[in-house]
């Protein structure tokens, strides 16, 4: 497969999520705060699939985000269902890395520092609307009345993390960085009115986990609300 990105594309490295919709490929990157859309093109060489001609869709133009427009969302899961593109961030905490050129005391201090990028705890769906040439676009509000929605919450938490805070399996891991086997979302799909959320962590005694969440639109935030 060949993926061709332009210098202006939001996602050029650190590809972290993808979803197909006909001849179109939606992709996200874990260091961006937006989605790129690629179109299926004729192969040039030995590849079976080739995608390019990228327009970008910044999340800040589609959703009311808890953080700044350029704060990375660390999007990890994308899926297309019923005319929407669903997106989910990793929700994970970060720990600073140790550095080879730093003293032990300095590295010990760095390893004690945790942070949470303000847009990482995003779970949302965005309407897909086709233009006159049948190309799909992500829009804040579609002509048929559909609107972009984000699960209610802020930079620190949302209704999903609030619900899991007292969970016997996952509650204790919400305060642990993802790369230390803390809570870390890695994938997403939709089955009817259910979201299936795949977790990279925690792994409990060798068991990985999948969350099944019923969708209730009353728990989501519409643009401008």
| 45 has a pLDDT exceeding 70 | yes
Residue 139: band (very low, low, confident or very high) from pLDDT cuts 50, 70, 90: very high
Q: Are 117 and 72 in contact (CB under 8 A)?
A: yes
Domain ranges of the chain: 2-221
> Which pLDDT score, from 0 to 100, does residue 222 have?
56
Looking at per-residue pLDDT, the higher value among 90 and 222 belongs to 90
- For residue 145, which of 132, 131, 158, 129 has the smallest C-alpha distance? 129
Give yes or no for a contact between 115 and 97, defined as CB atoms under 8 angstroms apart: no
Q: Is 108 helix (H, G, I), strand (E, B) or coil?
A: helix
Quick: pLDDT tens for 3-37: 999 888 888 778 899 999 989 999 998 888 999 99
pLDDT at 221 over 80: no
pLDDT tens-digit series, residues 177-209: 999 999 999 999 999 889 999 999 999 999 999
Q: How crowded is the C-beta side of 34, counted as CA atoms within 13 Å?
A: 22
74 pLDDT exceeds 70?
Answer: yes
pLDDT digits (tens, 9 = 90+) for 83-129: 999 999 999 999 998 999 999 999 899 999 999 999 999 999 999 99
Residues 6+ apart with CB under 8 A from 188: 17, 76, 77, 78, 79, 86, 87, 88, 195, 196, 197, 198
């Amino acid at each position: 497969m060949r993926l061709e990105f332009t210098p202006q594309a939001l996602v050029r490295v650190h590809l972290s999520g993808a979803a197909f919709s006909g001849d179109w490929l939606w992709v996200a990157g874990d260091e961006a705060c937006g989605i790129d859309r690629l179109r299926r093109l004729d192969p040039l060489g030995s590849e079976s699939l080739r995608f390019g001609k990228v327009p970008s869709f910044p999340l800040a133009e589609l959703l009311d985000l808890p953080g700044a427009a350029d704060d990375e969302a660390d999007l990890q899961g994308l899926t297309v269902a019923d005319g929407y593109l669903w997106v989910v961030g990793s929700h994970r905490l970060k720990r600073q890395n140790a550095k080879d050129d730093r003293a032990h005391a300095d590295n010990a201090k760095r390893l004690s520092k945790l942070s949470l990028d303000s847009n990482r705890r995003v779970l949302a769906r965005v309407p897909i609307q086709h233009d006159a040439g049948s190309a799909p676009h992500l829009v804040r509000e579609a002509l048929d009345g559909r609107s972009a929605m984000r699960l209610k919450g802020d930079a620190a938490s949302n209704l999903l993390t609030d619900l899991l805070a007292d969970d016997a399996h996952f509650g204790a891991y919400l305060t642990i960085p993802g790369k230390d086997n803390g809570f870390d979302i890695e994938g997403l799909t939709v089955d009817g009115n259910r979201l299936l959320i795949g977790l990279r962590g925690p792994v409990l005694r060798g068991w990985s986990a999948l969350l099944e969440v019923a969708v209730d639109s009353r728990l989501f935030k519409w643009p401008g609300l």
